[in-house]
Amino acid sequence: RSELGMERADLRAVELAGLCHDLGHGPYSHVFDREFLPRRGVVGWEHEAMSAAVLDAIVEDNYVDSIPAQDLRTIKDMITAGHGAQLGSGAEAGAVTPGSTPPTIDSSPRPASASSKRWLHEIVANGRNGIDVDKFDYLARDSLCCGVRVSFDPGRIMQFSKVLDDEICYRYSEYMSLHDLFHSRASMHRQVYTHRKAKAVEYMIVDALCAADPVLKLSNRVWDARSFMALDDSVLDVLENRELYGWRAKRDARKVGWGRGEDDDAEREKDDEEVGPAAAPSGTPASRNPLCSRVLLDSDQEDEAAIAEAQAVIARLRRRRLYRYCGEVLVPPGDVGSGRWSVPSSQDVVACYRGSGPRPRAEDVILHDNKISFSMRDSNPLDRVHFFDDLESTEKRALRPHQITSMLAANFQETSLRVYSRRDDPAAVLAVKEAFQNWVSQRFGGHVECSTPLKSRAPDATQRLKRAAEGVQGSSPDPLSQRAHKNLKL
């Protein structure tokens, strides 16, 4: 609009920011940065900062000179709006020490832009209240692909919006439309993003990546954009089909027993002359995948064990032998709000087992601290939104829920604790379930119950036939047992 003083460069900046804001996602999207990296001791890493770093690398490597430096900075600021961490240069990137924050993170706040058009930075990634086109896009896309209905209307939200005092405001009548947006987000997280089977698959992917990380060095690639760009979802294929990708073991590990001394390079060259170069022929999957580098094409016995462990997890995943979901409990909001809630350790849960069978192993138990919110933790994001009375208004004002309706929920975040078993045999799963229920009773008392009550184990085929026979011979057989025995004789 002319009254906003928009220029063609502004439109291009918003378009490029929207197209490039997810360039920094690692393999399997948020599984990489929210599950895998913390397990490997990497903290302070955000995919938005990597998106900006990857964009820099693309512009530099492809000699893109049609985007002025200031416009490029504006685009990157739009991508990282609301996220303070910025990646350093590749020259500063180094090995990651578990549990530490590498020096490549600059957490100092950055200005939104040199221009006064602050509202432009609320379109792609809105750090102020979370209303942005990124959320519009993934909710519409994912709900359509997964067959889950969502109730918000992004077209109406945009139609009744305008810029006042350099921020995007909305007509007061759209309060419930914006509420539906955040409610839809919570519903998608509950039904899709944190579905219990989906999380089981995620944990298996993370276990496979963690097992292979000492060989693939995935967690060391996140501090340099060009190294990071080699990562994609094919990493599981590389692990699973190593022969297809030209990945072979060191012949010397079986032949001459290389150590790790200074003669390794000479022995490696000698071995390569005998068995041929490790590099895959041009045109093969290995030649197209940067993970299959010279370093990774050779692996010693220690690496072989790590790769075998990763392959075993992937094989279970392919055969649908997923980690078993064993239970869930909804944490009372009062415990969370008062600070009395802390996530237990696997050892805490295992210690509550009172059964007669073998005690579950702590390393076989996974605890998922599941938080679903309106995107602002326990705050109402609509408290950070300003509204106007009609499209001719020039003043903005805040609205409170009680001014609109008395039926809105008072809590904007729910916390639940889930437990999974890496072992899938019935005895181990039942032991974890019993231990978890005992822990819940011990921690919360009788006023909190698991949302998945412990069920008695279903009888196997032999037990069912035995019961059917006993039912026919008894004085008062039940109809189901009698019918089963009749069908058996037929």
Tens of pLDDT, residue by residue over 24-75, are 999 999 999 999 999 999 998 999 999 999 999 999 999 999 999 999 999 9
pLDDT beyond 50 at 278: no
* Cα–Cα distance, 477 to 490 (Å, whole number): 18
One-letter amino acid for residue 242 of the chain: R
Strands 167-171 and 386-388 turn out to be: parallel
Distances (CA, A) of 341 to 279, 308, 338, 375, 446: 53, 38, 8, 20, 17
Q: Which of 203, 286, 188 is nearest to 28 (CA)?
A: 203
Contact residues for 382 (Cβ-Cβ < 8 A; gap 6+): 129, 175, 178, 179, 182, 399, 401
* Cα–Cα distance, 56 to 213 (Å, whole number): 27
Residue with the bigger pLDDT between 451 and 147: it is 147
Distances (CA, A) of 294 to 95, 213, 290, 317, 413: 19, 16, 10, 29, 48
Strands 397-398 and 365-373 turn out to be: unpaired
* Cα–Cα distance, 423 to 65 (Å, whole number): 55
**Are both 389 and 363 inside the same structural domain?**
no
Residue 184, domain CATH: 1.10.3210.10
Q: Over range 331-346, report the average pLDDT.
A: 93
* Cα–Cα distance, 306 to 213 (Å, whole number): 8
Residue with the bigger pLDDT between 370 and 266: it is 370
pLDDT beyond 50 at 433: yes
Distances (CA, A) of 212 to 201, 217, 428: 17, 8, 26
pTM, two decimal places: 0.80
- Look at residue 292 and tell me if it is in a domain: no
Per the structure, the complete domain to which residue 345 belongs is given by 324-374+412-447
**Are both 71 and 194 inside the same structural domain?**
yes
pLDDT beyond 90 at 263: no
**Are both 348 and 478 inside the same structural domain?**
no
How much is the pLDDT for 461? 60
* Cα–Cα distance, 104 to 102 (Å, whole number): 5
**Are both 390 and 482 inside the same structural domain?**
no
pLDDT beyond 60 at 474: no
Contact 123, 158 (CB under 8 A): no
**Are both 13 and 23 inside the same structural domain?**
yes
Partners of residue 325 on adjacent β-strands: 420
pLDDT beyond 70 at 307: yes
- Look at residue 249 and tell me if it is in a domain: no
* Cα–Cα distance, 467 to 35 (Å, whole number): 47
**What is the total count of domains within the chain?**
3
Alpha helices by DSSP H, listed for 223-367, are 225-228, 235-240, 252-255, 264-275, 285-288, 294-297, 301-318, 333-337, 346-350
Residue with the bigger pLDDT between 278 and 214: it is 214
**Are both 357 and 479 inside the same structural domain?**
no
How much is the pLDDT for 471? 63
How much is the pLDDT for 476? 52
Place of tokens 């600070």: 339
- Look at residue 66 and tell me if it is in a domain: yes
How much is the pLDDT for 432? 97
**Are both 57 and 193 inside the same structural domain?**
yes
pLDDT (tens digit per residue) in 88-116: 433 333 334 444 444 333 333 344 444 57
| Joined tokens for residue 355 | 């059964």
**Are both 50 and 159 inside the same structural domain?**
yes
**Are both 383 and 368 inside the same structural domain?**
no
pLDDT (tens digit per residue) in 133-147: 999 999 999 999 999
% of the chain exceeding 70 in pLDDT: 73
Lowest mean pLDDT among 146-150, 252-256, 286-290, 419-423: 252-256
**Confidence category of residue 489, pLDDT binned at 50, 70, 90:** very low
How much is the pLDDT for 84? 52
Residue 420, domain CATH: 3.30.70.2760
CB count in 10 Å sphere of residue 155: 9
End-to-end CA separation in angstroms for the chain: 80
- C-alpha gyration radius of the chain: 28
How much is the pLDDT for 401? 87
Helices 8-20 and 69-79 pack at an angle, to 10 degrees, of 50
- 52, burial (CB in 10 Å: exposed 0-12, middle 13-18, buried 19+): buried
pLDDT beyond 70 at 360: yes
- Look at residue 278 and tell me if it is in a domain: no
**Are both 396 and 443 inside the same structural domain?**
no
Place of tokens 């805040």: 398
Chain mean position to CA 381: 22
- Look at residue 338 and tell me if it is in a domain: yes
Partners of residue 420 on adjacent β-strands: 325, 366
Q: Over range 377-388, report the average pLDDT.
A: 95
Place of tokens 């437990």: 419
- Look at residue 380 and tell me if it is in a domain: yes
| Joined tokens for residue 258 | 């290389």
